[in-house]
Amino acid sequence: MIREKFKEALSAVLPITLIVIVLNFTITPLDSHYFLRFLIGAAAIIIGLTIFLFGVEIGITPIGSLMGKSLARSNKFWFVAIATLILGFLISVAEPDLHILAGQVETVTSGAIGKFGIVTVVSVGVGLMISAGLLRILFNIPLHKFLTVSYFIILGLGIFTSPEFLAIAFDSSGATTGALTVPFMLALALGVSSMKKDGQDSENDSFGLVGIASAGAIMAVMVMSILSKSDRVTGSLEQEMSTSTSIIAPFVRQIPKIAFEIIIALSPIIVLFFVFQFISFRLTKKQLRKIVMGIIYTFLGLTIFLTGVNAGFMEVGALVGYKVAALGKPWLVILVGFILGLVTILAEPAVHVLTNQIEDVTSGYIKRTAVFLFLSIGVGTAVALSMIRIIVPGLQLWHCLLPGYIAAIAMAQFAPTLFVGIAFDSGGVASGPMTATFILAFAQGAAEFIPHADVLVDGFGVIAMVAMTPLIALQILGFIFSSKSHKEGIA
């Protein structure tokens, strides 16, 4: 298993590493200490991803699916509704990305919307939608109908939301679906849906919960912005740029901070696990030990991974963005953005968890290479579009998001249900830590050089794009699959 996971991590991280190395020796030479940090970061990401992936497989996934099963088995509507609401709230509250986003929102609204308030509201939104999403599975409400209604509500709310908050709202969907919450939600849905008797239904319902949770976060922020009537963004964000030329120091500085954040993020899952173990799982000692090992691996792997990303990749992302923009060739910025989008998504941890689950649920019918290919193209397009948006002054975020979501919802009416679920999940999955640091930094770096671009407004919204394009890309894959799966030569 180690070799299998290591290979997976290696093939995930090598592409982006190679691209940056090529950029370094061609158009955007980096200072040697940044470049060395990047290489160390890449090594840390490979090791971290390897450990994280088997940690999730033997720890987080079993916990999630066991919980899903025992919740569904209770067969009591109110118990499932309230328990999943609390569950969703807790995992969202503990998500470090959400706290970072909320902190930024507090800064840019000059305190009009407090950090505490936004974390609470978004978590309630996520909790409500997770609860509704799981009940949907139990009551056999078709996924595409559920999503259509959700996104119509978002559209309605969006009309009253200012452009700045629109970006923040869509970004918050990316922030709540982090590297830990996604595997957990995926497993939860898997656990509930695996109770279904019909094999086809059970498979279809294994996906979609992450997408539903993302919609909850978007709605929550929109409601909050409308209610607080604070629609103007005033402050500005300061970008931390370390001036130190030390190579190791940034890594050492990051470790304790990241380790603490991950402990917080893991704690609700661990606590709930032991509560459930006491009440309903009653696992044997051997099973228990395996899951505890899984949690430890998840913690170690994610700490190493995020340290590598934050200390090694973030600044390089910003520098590459700035330097490419400085060359004064707009098409080059768009092209580099597209290529970086293609390769960054491969290194996103939750993507691997999702593709593994897809292979398991479909017994290998949907191959991961196909999912990766379409996801890559989707995210590449998203980053390229974001760059165009930064370069072209009049183009606003909703000019891209609105047609995108309309297309996604329209496709959901006809695409195979399985792919609708996978597509909406992969939207949340794609906007993980790797995009949130590297791609965001790249966009902000580019925006910093382009005079009319607003680092804040253009920076927010990149994640929103990355979360939107996979919806379309993977549903296209679904159409291709369904058109190719029919049988020939029989009536």
Partner 1 sequence: MTYCDDINHLELVFVIVNFGTGSKIIKQARKSGIKGGTIFLGKGTSENHILELLGISDIRKEVVLLVGDRETAYNALEDLNDKFNFHKPNHGIAFTIPVDSLIGSGYNITFENRNIEGGEEIMYNAIFVVVDRGLAEDVVDAAKSAGAKGATIINARGSGIHETQKLFAMEIEPEKEIVLILTDSSITGDVTKAINEKMELSKPGHGIMFVLDVNKTYGIRE
Is residue 480 part of the contact set for partner 1 (CB under 8 A)? yes
> In the numeric block, which tokens belong to residue 378?
């989707």
**With binding defined as CB under 8 A, does residue 481 bind partner 1?**
yes
Q: Does 245 bind partner 1 (CB under 8 A)?
A: no
365 binds partner 1 (CB under 8 A): yes
* Shortest distance in whole angstroms from residue 207 CB to partner 1: 14
Query: Which lies closer to partner 1 via its Cβ, residue 270 or residue 335?
Result: 270
Considering only residues 166-205, where is the footprint of partner 1 by CB under 8 A? 197-201, 203
Q: How far is CA 283 from CA 1, 155, 253, 491, in A?
A: 23, 45, 39, 50
CB of 54 to partner 1, least distance (A): 5
Q: Which stretch binds partner 1 (CB under 8 A): 74-82, 270-278, 298-306, 355-363?
A: 355-363
119 in Cβ contact with 102 (< 8 Å):
yes
Interface with partner 1 in residues 416-455 (CB under 8 A): none
1 vs 159, beta carbon nearer partner 1: 1
Instruction: Count Cα atoms within 13 angstroms, Cβ side, for 451.
Output: 1
Q: Should residue 367 be labelled a site residue for partner 1 when binding is judged by CB under 8 A?
A: yes
Rule CB under 8 A: is residue 284 a binding residue for partner 1?
no
Of the residues 289, 329, 399, 452, which one makes contact with partner 1 according to CB under 8 A: 289
Q: Which residues contact 122 (CB under 8 A, 6 or more apart)?
A: 92, 98, 102, 172, 175, 176, 217, 220, 221
- Measured from the CB atom, the residue of 20 and 58 that comes closer to partner 1 is 58
Asked if residue 297 lies in contact with residue 55, where contact means CB atoms within 8 angstroms, the answer is yes
Neighbouring C-beta atoms of residue 259, cutoff 10 Å: 17
Q: Which of 356, 350, 345, 415 is nearest to 378 (CA)?
A: 345
* DSSP one-letter string for 323-368: HHHHTT-HHHHHHHHHHHHHHHGGG-HHHHHHHHHHHHHTTTSS-H
The piece of 103-111, 264-272, 332-340, 353-361 that touches partner 1 (CB under 8 A) is 353-361
Question: Binding of partner 1 at residue 370 (CB under 8 A)?
Answer: yes
Is residue 43 near partner 1 by the rule CB under 8 A? no
Task: Count the site residues for partner 1 by CB under 8 A.
Answer: 37
Pick the closer one to partner 1 by CB: 376 or 437.
376
Measured in whole angstroms, the distance separating CA 488 from the mean position of its chain's CA atoms is 39
Half-sphere exposure of 266 (CA within 13 A, CB side): 23
* Site for partner 1 contains 159 (CB under 8 A): no
In single-letter form, the type of residue at position 478 comes to G
- Contacts with partner 1 by CB under 8 A lie at 1-2, 4, 54, 57-58, 197-201, 203, 289-290, 293-294, 297, 359-365, 367, 369-370, 373, 480-481, 484-490
